[in-house]
Amino acid sequence: MKIYIEQLKKHDAKDLFTFELTNKSFFETMVPNRGSQYFDFEYFQ
């Protein structure tokens, strides 16, 4: 298996945002609160 690390591009925003929302409860146990505005897609970008 090969693993690649690439810098995120603008077109990745929607997928990353979905990932963040899906895993929000997990991340809240690991990182400081990002505030509700972080989960507004327009702000997120």
Domain-by-domain residue ranges, the chain? Answer: 13-44
pLDDT at 23: 97
Q: Is the pTM of this model over 0.85?
A: no
Q: Quick one: tokens of 18?
A: 């979905």
pLDDT, tens digit, 9 for 90 and up, residues 1-36:
999 999 999 999 999 999 999 999 999 999 999 999
The yes-or-no verdict on residue 45 having pLDDT over 90 is no
The string of DSSP letters for 8-31 reads --GGGHHHHHHHHHHTHHHHHTTS
- Gap between the Cα atoms of 44 and 16, Å rounded: 10
Report residue 44's pLDDT band, with 50, 70 and 90 as the boundaries.
confident
Instruction: For Cα atoms 6, 7, 11, give the angle at the middle one, nearest 5 degrees.
Output: 105
Three-state secondary structure call for residue 9: coil
pLDDT at 14: 96
